[in-house]
Chain A
Amino acid sequence: MTEFTSLLAQRPALAERYAAFLSSVQGHAAVPARLNELCRARIQQIHGITPAGLDEATLVQLAATDYSSFTSAEAAGLAIAEKISFQHHGITDDDVEQVRQEVGNDGCVALLTALSFYDVECRLQLTTEALNVD
Chain B
Amino acid sequence: MSTKPRVESALPGEPVSFATAMMHAPDILTRFGELYADFWQQGIISQEIKEMTRIRNARITDCGY
Binding site for B on A (CB under 8 A): 11, 13-14, 17-18, 20-21, 23-25, 28, 88-89, 92-93, 96-97, 100, 105-106, 108-110, 113
Interface residues of B in 23-65 (CB under 8 A from A): 24-25, 27-28, 30-32, 34-35, 38-39, 42-43, 61-62
Secondary structure at the A interface, as helix, strand, loop or mixed, is helix
- Of the candidates B7, B34, B42, the one whose C-beta lies within 8 Å of that of A100 is B7
* Docked-complex contact B24 and A105, CB < 8 angstroms: yes
Binding site for A on B (CB under 8 A): 1-2, 4, 6-8, 10, 21-22, 24-25, 27-28, 30-32, 34-35, 38-39, 42-43, 61-62
* Docked-complex contact B28 and A109, CB < 8 angstroms: yes
Of B21, B30, B34, most buried by chain A (CB within 10 Å of CB) is: B34
* Docked-complex contact B6 and A109, CB < 8 angstroms: no
Question: Which B residues are CB-close (under 8 A) to A113?
Answer: 22, 25, 28, 32
Question: Which 10 A-B residue pairings sit nearest by Cβ, starting from the closest?
Answer: A21-B31, A96-B6, A106-B24, A17-B35, A24-B31, A89-B1, A109-B24, A105-B24, A109-B25, A21-B35
